[in-house]
Amino acid sequence: MLASSRHLVVGADSATAAILAAGLLGVAAPGTRRYVELAGSVALLVGGLLLLARLLRLGFLANFLSRTVLVGFLTGVGVQVAVGQLPELLGVPSVGGSTATKVWHLLRGTSHLQVLTMLVSVAVIAAVIGVRLLTRRVPGALLAVVAAIVAEHMLDLRSRGVEVLGPVEAGLPQLALPSLAEHDLVALLPIAVSMSVVILAQSAATSRAYAARYDEHVDTDTDLTALGAANLAASATGTFVVNGSPTKTEMVDNAGGRSQVASLAASVVVLVVLLVLTRSLAGLPLAALAAVVFLIGIELVDLPGMRRIYLMRRGEFVVALLTAAAVVLVGVEQGIVLAIVASIVDHLRHSYCPYNSVLEKSPAGHWRPTPVTPGARTVEGLVVYRFGTSLYFANASRFADDVTALISSGGPVSWFCIDGAAIGDV
């Protein structure tokens, strides 16, 4: 409710979960009471850091994520999510690690394929796609999941080798802020800082991508307030750090959610499920859940967007492709950092090597740009030269080289006019 983005869905996310697991590995044993308390303490620290970032107006850091990088980032996340669901879809044991490791393990485990699990996966995927083709007003994913639970109860799929979710503890969590000792603060603060950076970057990337899709405006500083409050609430309910999730956002978008009302409705449904429906969830086939998430991953792969970038500018396409590859091969958290670096490098590349031109008059009397070639002229004795960006020390030699090439070849130049419309600073 506090965010400026109408579409961003905040929840537990794999990127921050990976950082948390790695950071707490040497501090507490996984699954212990202390481990859970420390996870809540990290959420408390992250909430405080995000609110501090809001006070310092650090939301401008999201401006370093270009539209090209956003397309590549979400495409990479989609591939990573889809590949991560394949073991559950096929009924083979899953492993952690990079996407490449998961694919290699999957190829080696083809002898362990579970036919019945695969049939459940295919049935759920077909049902979701079929309902979507008929109408967008009906939640096909929800219907498919409910049908899978009913099928498990009727056919006893669990006894036939299909893995299910298992018991889910009922009831609401107790509200209490975690205690934070001084020695814990020293150990947890670096983890919280790294997670805050990832939350800022990933949430901003996701909210801006959907704002561009629906031609809306978002304020990253306002979103920092919402994310900070969400993490403080998470720490009070015993939850670990929450983040703006591309997968969950795409899932809600596919279901027709267009505002924060969708998240409020989902919260009410979760409360009802925790109070009265947890026994029914125990029979949910994991393959059905994986099938829904797999489709969400496929939806995140923005092939039309990548194609548009390729047709408009090949260099931009390379940046988008490298960003997607970084997310897939290295990971979301490292991919975010590389995406920001790629945006900065791409900006520097444009400013260092801008599109410069010589202006000529068309037969219709309009000015048109032509490539800078030795001896090019606007008319006999006149050169109108356009430099495509601000002039500074890094591109000054490019400016000088163009001017030298234009006046040293061809006929004499009586007038050399510089079109400085794009030169905002010298």
Tens digits of residue pLDDT in 395-426: 999 999 999 999 988 888 999 999 998 888 88
Cβ contact 359:367 at 8 Å: yes
pLDDT at residue 397, rounded to an integer: 92
Helical ranges in 157-254 per DSSP H: 182-213, 220-236, 246-254
pLDDT at residue 236, rounded to an integer: 92
Q: What is the DSSP letter of 65?
A: S
User: Residues 230-249: what's their mean pLDDT?
Assistant: 91
Least confident of 58-62, 159-163, 166-170, 234-238: 58-62
pLDDT at residue 1, rounded to an integer: 77
pLDDT digits (tens, 9 = 90+) for 20-55: 877 787 788 777 888 889 999 999 999 999 999 999
pLDDT digits (tens, 9 = 90+) for 63-104: 777 778 878 888 888 898 889 889 999 988 877 677 888 888
Give percent of the chain above pLDDT 70: 98
Distance CA 285, CA 340 (A): 39
Distance CA 380, CA 38 (A): 76
User: Residues 203-213: what's their mean pLDDT?
Assistant: 89
Cβ contact 29:40 at 8 Å: no
Distance CA 50, CA 59 (A): 10
User: Residues 197-212: what's their mean pLDDT?
Assistant: 87
Q: Where residue 335 falls among pLDDT bands split at 50, 70, 90? A: confident
pLDDT digits (tens, 9 = 90+) for 355-387: 899 999 888 888 899 999 998 999 989 999 999
pLDDT at residue 333, rounded to an integer: 65
pLDDT at 288 over 90: yes
Buried b / exposed e across 328-338, counting CB within 10 Å, b at 16+? bebbbbebbeb
pLDDT at 56 over 90: yes
pTM, two decimals, is 0.73
Non-local (6+) Cβ contacts of 334 within 8 A are 326
pLDDT at residue 108, rounded to an integer: 82
Cβ contact 27:186 at 8 Å: no
DSSP structure string for 2-48: --S-SS--EE--HHHHHHHHHHHTTTS-TTSHHHHHHHHHHHHHHHH
State the chain's mean pLDDT as an integer: 87
User: Residues 213-221: what's their mean pLDDT?
Assistant: 89
Q: Is 393 exposed, middle or buried (0-12, 13-18, 19+ CB in 10 A)?
A: exposed
User: Residues 144-170: what's their mean pLDDT?
Assistant: 91
